[in-house]
Chains A and B, each alone.
Chain A
Amino acid sequence: MGGFEHYLSIFTKAVFIENIVLAYFLGLCSFLAISKKIDASVGIGMAVVVVLTITAPINWFINTYFLDKGALVWLSPDFIDVNLDFLRLIVFISVIAAMVQLVEMFMERFSQALYSSLGIFLPLIAVNCSILGGSLFMVEREYNLTETVVYGFGSGVGFFLAIIALASVRYRLRYSNIPPRLRGVGMAMLLTGLLSMAFMAFSGIDL
């Protein structure tokens, strides 16, 4: 595994080429619901970056030292055949819910300003698919610890960019004449399609 360039390539891939919203459709519910307002979009975008960067490595530790096949061998060599990966989903989602709660409490204690701007979004993103999706992709692609951190952060940044882009477009849209029944979600879907096409232009880049 190469040095800096390898990580840069994972980061760029996560942000642009395999953007978690526009290419994998993860986190679309909050993406569509919140992109009506720019301030709120910045808030939830930052919250997703923070939570993804924290939960992906924690889930990596749990997966590598407890859940994977043979992961418990550090306890005793007898556990070489133990495979707990059927517990993966339930453990990951509990870790995410707990971490979101913890981040929320931590913020409330140490940074009131940050809490008042991000606080209301934190409970929402416990059930945001992009967070669980990030952890599951990390397992599926067999990333190591550093790659996981870079991937988690990159996916968060990808979500942040996509939601701000959509929120800005929807803001301009208020002054345009859209067929009444297409307004709202219908239009947002078509716009997301266009954004997704724009991001596809990056897919030719090979790092």
Chain B
Amino acid sequence: MEIFNSESKKIISDPLSINNPISLQVLGICSALAVTIRLDQAIIMTIAVIFVLCSSNVILSALRNFIPNRVRIVVMLSIIASLVTVVDQVLQAYLYDMSKQLSVFVGLIITNCIIMGRAEAFALKHGPSKAFLDGLGNGLGYGMIIIIVSLFRELFGAGTITLPDGGVGYVLFSIPEAWYAAGYENIGLLVLSPGAFFILGLVIWTQRELFGIEEGE
């Protein structure tokens, strides 16, 4: 079995470009917007989603011949919910501040459509190793978009860039006081909900221009 043949590469690289889960398959937008106020939240969320997505894809793909078709939704939900519970407990134990900031959105990974969507569309039809790559690819595609959105929102909305650490976050960069003194102002709207919608809308537009994809309506 070759892991790094061209088909496997395609499974990983497609979600990063022409088949991105957020901007092209339109899955998993709910949690994508809520956690993009700060970069460190987006990074932690990406790691959590990649973990849940890879594990659920592998487990479901390994079990795919044993799950009766009629009850597959319930089986999928319970496996995903158990994995998310693990993530939630780990975050509460080791990154308590982060877990408080993300509040209900860790639990909402369960209903993140990316996970159910990839399980239904890919994992139940392919073997575990391919399902793992698919999970990794889609997780990275999701992470790429939310990290871009959160970079814009944090840098222009709050004037900082924060990386995750054990506590409240490590501030990598913040706009110097001299700029504010010279009349620079943060765009407060970006920190609020409408800003998230605008930035994501523009990111989706840019990405579709880059890859030349149109949607009929």
Contacts and interface: CB of A to CB of B under 8 A. Distances in A.
> A and B from one assembly?
yes
Interface of A: 22-29, 32-33, 36, 86-90, 93-94, 97, 123, 126-129, 131-133, 136-137, 140, 170, 173-174, 179-190, 192-194, 196-197, 200
28 contacts: A25-B193, A25-B196, A29-B28, A29-B29, A29-B30, A29-B113, A32-B26, A32-B29, A86-B89, A87-B85, A89-B81, A93-B81, A94-B77, A127-B111, A129-B111, A132-B107, A133-B104, A137-B104, A173-B217, A180-B214, A183-B216, A184-B217, A189-B200, A189-B204, A190-B201, A193-B194, A194-B194, A200-B192
B194 A26 contact: no
Contacts of A27: 30
Nearest to B35: A25
B84 A189 contact: no
A33 B189 CA distance: 26
Interface in B186-211: 189, 192-198, 200-202, 204-205, 208-209
Given A183-B216, A186-B208, 14 more contacts: A25-B31, A25-B32, A25-B34, A28-B30, A29-B28, A33-B26, A127-B77, A136-B104, A185-B215, A186-B204, A189-B197, A189-B200, A192-B201, A193-B201
Nearest to A138: B104
A120 B103 CA distance: 32
Contacts of B204: 185-186, 189
Nearest to B29: A28
Given A25-B30, A25-B193, A190-B198, A93 B77 contact: yes
Interface in B30-51: 30-34
Nearest to A125: B111
B57 interface: no
B154 interface: no
A181 B180 CA distance: 37
Contacts of A193: 194-198, 201
Nearest to A131: B111
Contacts of A88: 107
Contacts of A196: 193-194, 197
Interface in B98-130: 103-104, 107-108, 110-113, 116
B134 interface: no
Nearest to B85: A89
Nearest to B198: A193
A140 B78 CA distance: 22
Contacts of A29: 26-30, 113
Contact of B78 (A26, A94, A181, A184): A94
Contact of B33 (A28, A174, A188): A28
A31 B17 CA distance: 24
A132 B110 contact: yes
Contacts of B34: 24-26
B26 A140 contact: no
B105 to A, nearest CB: 9
A179 B213 CA distance: 12
B73 interface: yes
Contacts of A93: 77-78, 81, 110-111
B108 A129 contact: yes
Contact of A181 (B85, B108, B200, B205): B205
Interface string B72-98: 011001100110110011000000000
B103 A26 contact: no
Contacts of A185: 23, 26, 204, 215
Given A127-B111, A189-B200, A200-B193, A97 B74 contact: yes
